[in-house]
Amino acid sequence: MNKKILKRFDSLRLEGEKARSNVIRPGSTIIQVGSATCENAAGAREIREEFRKHIASSGRADIVLHDVGCTGRCSLEPIVGILRPGERPVKYQQVSREGVHRIFTDHVLHGQPVAELILDGTQKSGSRYEILFCRGERCGNLAARGLQARLRERLEQRGVGADVVAVQGVNFADMCVGESKFQGGHFLVRPGNHLYRVASDADLERFIDEHLLADRPVQELIVQEQPIGQNFFELYGDISFFNRQSRIALRNSGIIDPTSLPEYLNAGGFHSLARVLAAGDPDGVIAELSASKLRGRGGGGFPTGSKWQMARKEPGGEKYIICNADEGDPGAFMDRSMLEGDPFSVVEGMIIGGFAIGASRGFFYVRAEYPLAIERIENALAACRKHGLLGEDILGSGFSFDLEIRLGAGAFVCGEETALIHSIEGERGQPRIRPPYPSQSGLWGKPTVINNVETFANVPVILEHGAEWFRHIGSDKSGGTKVFALAGKVNHTGLVEVPIGTTLREIIMEIGGGCPKGKRFKAVQTGGPAGGCIPATHADLAVDYDTLTAMGTIMGSGGMIVMDEDDCMVDIAKFFMKFSADESCGKCTPCREGSKRMLEILERITAGEGREDDIAKLERLGLLMKRTSLCGLGRAAANPVLSTLRHYREEYAAHITEHRCPAKRCAALVRYSILADKCVGCTACARNCPANCIAGAAKKPHAIDPERCIKCGRCFRVCRFGAVERN
């Protein structure tokens, strides 16, 4: 162990602490505003400016505006957090300019939270204390469940009511897994953020007597070490969307200022790097990663430790490490969020990777559609160089390593690793045949490791808390958590990070809140255009790389597009096939021609012109593409079609033989008509018809001219009498 390196790191951390406390002095009131692309797009820029003006005119130096990344609660952005010293943090949703004024005067200045703007309507109870009790659902710690019930009983017996304390059950998957043999429970008490570990009824009594009734926290029962997700829970633990998640890769998103190195250091950042460099044992790093069962988060799920090992044992001096941030799957945005919300963790993971495989140069390959992410990485790299965390002789260890940014230019196929390499080399982003794999011969023919953003973000945490801890969180074959991007017909769109092996039902129905407007959940598309659909009947599937593959889909980068009863599976398959046909690079024939022909068949099926043998043709072409395409894009392009054929063959058949779209989505197969006995002649449909094809006198039944109808469905939606029929 090289003590000099650790000492140098400690002084860097102290320096950071000083720098941070100059910005946020103890005792300040902090106003947190999200500053990611999604937040800005929802209006966070204006909100920030408005708060700035309010702070300036109040003349108060102890009110600080703090930019943070995005928490992943996208549909309710912009989100604002108010942290008054000694009080529970409060988050507000969909804050407008008027909202800023109220929050600032009522809450920031006078300590009265604005109840109706609070995120998800939490904290209305008004109790003095709040207890977030881990239910132990994921780790199966039954003792935790028993203790929670007994705490409630005892509170009731003692007459401690809702004015004093509110108890909520949550999932803290990462809080105690390291101590799986511990039979007891954990809970977080706010304000004050004390994490308790209790094992007996006597412990509960002590907690009630001393902490709740006499306001004296019981030091002996308080956990001293800080679990990884604690910062996040302290801020967001009262919100059910968040407290069922386990934030590991997203541990700092929405908590720290992504542009500030001191804040990252303060959150424990770069400690792993310092320890790795001090230990000076690259093989040890790789062994630890292998033992953690971390698998590639970009889609393939290849064990990260094995990939690094392969590159490490290749002979030769020059090697490269690349972060694949060419996030192109429609509906996936976790990489953008991580790079905008916590870029330093990815940088740290890459430096450790560089050290482990023996590289001195690394690259971020980022899509040019993400200008803010690029800016945040540039800022992070500059800060690291300035403080000796990148460049020559990092932390005095003798290890030299630097990172550069390379921009994509709008080509989905560049997410494929060999195409990505060609793009960095300055060529058209076209893939080539593997082997040789990039770990043997990659960028400029040198051994190259390519990992996804999320994979790198996990690396520092694994080395900090140990492989055993990380492996315990996931399933048998894959350790840790996965970040999913929930989008489409789901109530809570956003980022959800849960242990691998969590069921679809928990992700979509419980955390995601199910489908809007009470519609029935029909299916979910995972893995983007390379994945497939899983029907709602399989909602109890534990999500893992292998279980998804067995269902005919893939984990992919973690996009989940939720569909309800109104969505047509043939139409969805057509959408993804169009995407793949557009993005096919054209190099190999099966993909270039296959995707085009499959799209033609799907187009004619949805137009009501399907032929008897079309299903057989789709299957033959799909399998052909799967077996013979050059790269992953072509091999997986048929998945959306093949998986919907597997689960929804009858929908295809209805389109072809009965010329009917069961979901009533395919315009060519839908007919609108007006039921004369229900129509009161209100003229709403006729006034809204963009094609002017509805006729009828006021207060008399109307009629649609089927020849001129463009089937936009507007009449169906505006009719308040159920008189417009859709067949």
Partner 1 sequence: MKPEKILKRYGRSGDNLLAILHDIQDASPEHYLSDADLRSAADYLRLPYSFVHGVASFYTMYSLKPRGRNLIRVCQSPPCHLLGSSTISRELIKVLGVGFGETTADRLFTLEMTSCLGVCGVAPAMMVNDRVYGNLTAERIAGIIDDLRRAQ
Site of interaction with partner 1 (CB under 8 A): 37-38, 40-42, 72-75, 77, 327-333, 335-337, 368-371, 406-412, 423-429, 485, 487-489, 493-494, 561, 567, 572, 575, 585
Nearer to partner 1, 29 or 337 (CB): 337
Nearer to partner 1, 273 or 561 (CB): 561
How far apart (Å, rounded) are the C-alpha atoms in residues 447 and 426? 18
CB 339 → partner 1: shortest distance, Å?
A: 10
CA distances to 179, 315, 630, 663 from 98, rounded to whole Å, are 48, 63, 56, 42
CB 77 → partner 1: shortest distance, Å?
A: 6
CB 528 → partner 1: shortest distance, Å?
A: 9
How far apart (Å, rounded) are the C-alpha atoms in residues 723 and 701? 9
Q: Are strands 481-488 and 494-499 parallel, antiparallel or unpaired?
A: antiparallel
CB 386 → partner 1: shortest distance, Å?
A: 22
How far apart (Å, rounded) are the C-alpha atoms in residues 245 and 137? 12
| Residues contacting 340, CB < 8 A, separation 6+ | 35, 36, 37, 69, 70, 258, 370, 372, 373, 376
CB 128 → partner 1: shortest distance, Å?
A: 34
Nearer to partner 1, 62 or 427 (CB): 427
CB 51 → partner 1: shortest distance, Å?
A: 20
CB 587 → partner 1: shortest distance, Å?
A: 11
Nearer to partner 1, 105 or 441 (CB): 441
How far apart (Å, rounded) are the C-alpha atoms in residues 602 and 622? 12
Nearer to partner 1, 123 or 430 (CB): 430
CB 450 within 8 A of CB 417: yes
CB 665 within 8 A of CB 711: no
CB 384 → partner 1: shortest distance, Å?
A: 21
- Locate all alpha helices (DSSP H) within 630-675, ordered by sequence: 632-636, 639-647, 649-657
CB 494 → partner 1: shortest distance, Å?
A: 5
> Reduced to 3 states, what is the DSSP secondary structure of residue 665?
coil
CA angle 57, 61, 67 (to 5 degrees): 90
CB 400 within 8 A of CB 360: yes
Structure tokens at 299: 């889609």
| Tokens 């590289």 -> residue | 359
How far apart (Å, rounded) are the C-alpha atoms in residues 572 and 489? 13
How far apart (Å, rounded) are the C-alpha atoms in residues 234 and 239? 11
Question: What single letter denotes the amino acid at residue 726?
Answer: R
Tell me whether residue 396 is exposed, middle or buried, using C-beta atoms within 10 angstroms of its C-beta: 0 to 12, 13 to 18, 19 or more. Answer: middle
Nearer to partner 1, 444 or 616 (CB): 444
How far apart (Å, rounded) are the C-alpha atoms in residues 347 and 329? 23
CB 283 → partner 1: shortest distance, Å?
A: 31
How far apart (Å, rounded) are the C-alpha atoms in residues 301 and 283? 21
Nearer to partner 1, 63 or 572 (CB): 572
Structure tokens at 72: 């992943």
Q: What is the largest CA-CA distance in the chain?
A: 90
Cα–Cα nearest to 462, from 391, 339, 356: 356
Nearer to partner 1, 198 or 374 (CB): 374
CB 598 → partner 1: shortest distance, Å?
A: 18
Nearer to partner 1, 297 or 489 (CB): 489
Q: Where are the beta strands (DSSP E) in 328-414?
A: 361-366, 402-407
Nearer to partner 1, 136 or 328 (CB): 328
Sign, CA dihedral 543-546-552-558, equals: positive
> Which residues sit opposite 92 in a β-bridge?
80, 118
CB 349 → partner 1: shortest distance, Å?
A: 20
**CA–centroid distance for 586 within its chain:** 32
Nearer to partner 1, 228 or 570 (CB): 570
Nearer to partner 1, 681 or 713 (CB): 713
CB 658 → partner 1: shortest distance, Å?
A: 26
Phi/psi for 607 (5° steps) reads: -90, 0
Structure tokens at 52: 């700035």
Nearer to partner 1, 397 or 525 (CB): 525
Structure tokens at 283: 């093989």
> Which residues sit opposite 170 in a β-bridge?
134
Nearer to partner 1, 411 or 534 (CB): 411
Structure tokens at 320: 């490269």
CB 34 within 8 A of CB 70: yes
> Reduced to 3 states, what is the DSSP secondary structure of residue 287?
helix
CB 41 → partner 1: shortest distance, Å?
A: 3
CB 687 → partner 1: shortest distance, Å?
A: 17
Nearer to partner 1, 4 or 428 (CB): 428
